[in-house]
Amino acid sequence: MPFLLAALAPMLWGSTYAVVHLSLTDLPPLWVAVWRALPAGLLLLLLARRRPPLPWGRLIGLSFCNITAFFCLLFLAAYRLPGAVAGTLGATLPLTLMALNWLRYGQRPSGYWLALALLGLAGVMLLVQPGTGLDPIGVACALSATLLVAQSTLWMQRWAVQDLLGLTAWQLTLGGLMLLPVAWLGAGPSPLPSGPAWPGLAWLILANTALAYWIWVWAIDKLGAQRLGMLSLTNPLVAVGLGTLWVGERLGPGQWLGIGLILASLLLMKRPQRTPRRDPGQAQDA
């Protein structure tokens, strides 16, 4: 059950690209990021009604990386790339987590987990249509967004926080507030969303952000960054599936093979493995 609930977060995030292309193309990407983050954060803050669960310096830095900068890059990528490409580039998260954990904290990944991550990445690469023209700026934004969420995930794993709902609420609220001047300077005043945009915004705010981010923070605590990174491979599966069903994108035989490899890596992840001893310095600051 924890695995199924944890997988729901990246699956919900996989709908971002289809929702953007279906109902939010008339809104500037930066303002879509504001509309997504700030209302969700305020809603959760009303439910939590708690003090910040981290020192202000850590909380502001985490909110900037995990929400402000991440959302800016994510929506720039979503507007510049096809859903299949944008969704699959984020599937480099398992390898990014392993690399950061090794380079920054000296925790070398096991060969088994590295093989699973590479198997999943191979499947992801097959999902990208060979004839698709890749926008370099969009690709850079998607990969940079993945790096930010990887570092933020490791921070949340290493900083002992008991109030997970409060941590989610404060991140989204502070991140959304920091997005306001960025959107104003980058795109001018926000246009009022049109009627067709409101269902898409409601989905982004309630399910795609408020619910999904709380699940993600909860799953970091319950499963750890390594397993959660592998579950993020469900994101491109949903992104590609919705792109095929709703946006009119088509899948070839190689892409179906890629889906099979991703599913295989997720199934193999459930194979029992010896759990390494916990690093006594894990809860310390980076």
Per residue in 227-269, pLDDT (tens digit) is 888 887 877 777 677 766 665 566 778 778 888 888 888 888 7
Q: Are 15 and 241 in contact (CB under 8 A)?
A: no
In angstroms, the CA 278 to CA 283 distance is: 10
Task: Read off the pLDDT of residues 97-145 as tens digits, 9 standing for 90 and up.
Answer: 888 888 887 788 788 888 888 888 788 777 755 455 677 888 888 889 8
Q: Are 205 and 33 in contact (CB under 8 A)?
A: no
Q: Which two tokens stand for residue 100?
A: 């950061």
Quote the percentage of the chain above a pLDDT of 90. Answer: 24
Could you tell me which residues come within 8 angstroms of residue 182 by beta carbon, excluding any fewer than 6 positions away? 30, 68, 72
Could you tell me which residues come within 8 angstroms of residue 159 by beta carbon, excluding any fewer than 6 positions away? 54, 58, 283, 285
- Rg of the Cα atoms in the chain: 18
pLDDT of residue 30: 87
Per the prediction, the chain carries an average pLDDT of 81
Is 283 a residue whose pLDDT tops 90?
no
Average pLDDT over residues 274-279: 45
Could you tell me which residues come within 8 angstroms of residue 208 by beta carbon, excluding any fewer than 6 positions away? 12, 13, 15, 16, 19, 36
pTM for the structure as a whole = 0.81
Q: Which one is predicted more confidently, 125 or 72?
A: 72
Q: Which one is predicted more confidently, 163 or 271?
A: 163
Average pLDDT over residues 74-91: 71
Max CA distance (Å), the chain: 54
pLDDT of residue 282: 43
Residue 60 to residues 152, 167, 214, 267, 279, Cα–Cα distance (Å): 12, 11, 18, 37, 26
Average pLDDT over residues 54-58: 93
pLDDT of residue 285: 46
In angstroms, the CA 122 to CA 117 distance is: 9
Q: Which one is predicted more confidently, 285 or 17?
A: 17
pLDDT of residue 278: 42
Our separate counts of H helices and E strands in the chain read 15, 0
Task: Read off the pLDDT of residues 163-208 as tens digits, 9 standing for 90 and up.
Answer: 899 999 999 999 999 999 999 998 888 888 888 889 889 999 999 9
In angstroms, the CA 155 to CA 97 distance is: 11
3-class SS shares of the chain: helix, strand, coil, % to 5: 75, 0, 25
Is 156 a residue whose pLDDT tops 80?
yes
pLDDT of residue 3: 75
Domain boundaries, the chain: 2-269
Query: In whole angstroms, what separates CA 214 from the centre of its chain?
Result: 12
